């Protein structure tokens, strides 16, 4: 199979030759790794509950007149939704990266191997994230968050499976 080579300049001024497939592989892994970096930043003291409440409470109080007691409930759910969205997205990015890395001729769109690796890697990142938080005084590591994050990763894989394998049925025309 012939691949057209693309001339790419590196930051150091040199150049390298990447095929379109290599370029795509690189982009999928960059997205996944950047997302993991974002999760690592969110795991620090900077985005602890105390810090996010200092930002969100005045905004929600001003916009909708939310009192502190109501805000604590809303804030809890905002943070849990953040967990869900974050690990759902990580699982999606990891699926794309593994699909580009482990090409399987019999599975051009979806394979359990890609979904399984993406799910388990997401669960591992969630576990490491919560473990890391146990060392930060303003944070707590919780197994319930690992379970929520893993559920989000699994949900992503189920939706990817449904999207990539679902084929609409032909609707029979009237009179057939």
For residue 152, is it within any domain? yes
For residue 120, is it within any domain? yes
For residue 119, is it within any domain? yes
For residue 11, is it within any domain? no
For residue 2, is it within any domain? no
pLDDT at 31: 98
For residue 56, is it within any domain? no
Ranges under pLDDT 70 in the chain: 1-16, 169-176
Contact 118, 94 (CB under 8 A): yes
pLDDT at 97: 98
pLDDT at 153: 98
Contact 10, 18 (CB under 8 A): no
For residue 71, is it within any domain? no
Residue 65, phi then psi, degrees to nearest 5 = 70, 30
pLDDT at 47: 85
Contact 162, 73 (CB under 8 A): no
**Structural domain that includes position 97:** 17-45+84-165
Q: Is the pTM for the entire model greater than 0.85?
A: no
**Number of domains observed in the structure of the chain:** 1
pLDDT at 148: 98
For residue 54, is it within any domain? no
Residue 147, phi then psi, degrees to nearest 5 = -65, -40
pLDDT at 113: 96
């Amino acid at each position: 199979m012939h691949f057209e080579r693309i001339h790419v300049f590196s930051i150091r001024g040199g150049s390298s030759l990447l095929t379109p497939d290599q370029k795509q592989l690189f982009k999928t892994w960059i997205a996944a790794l950047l997302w993991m970096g974002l999760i690592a930043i969110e795991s620090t003291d900077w985005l602890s509950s105390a810090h996010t409440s200092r930002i969100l409470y005045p905004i929600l109080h001003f916009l909708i007149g939310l009192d502190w007691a109501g805000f604590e409930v809303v804030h809890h759910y905002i943070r849990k939704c953040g967990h869900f969205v974050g690990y759902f997205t990580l699982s999606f990015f990891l699926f794309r990266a593994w699909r580009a890395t482990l090409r399987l001729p019999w599975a051009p769109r979806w394979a359990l191997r890609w979904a399984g690796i993406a799910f388990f890697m997401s669960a591992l990142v969630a576990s490491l994230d919560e473990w890391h938080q146990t060392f930060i005084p303003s944070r707590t590591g919780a197994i319930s968050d690992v379970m929520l994050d893993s559920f989000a990763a699994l949900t992503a894989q189920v939706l990817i499976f449904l999207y990539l394998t679902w084929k609409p049925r032909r609707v029979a025309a009237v009179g057939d």
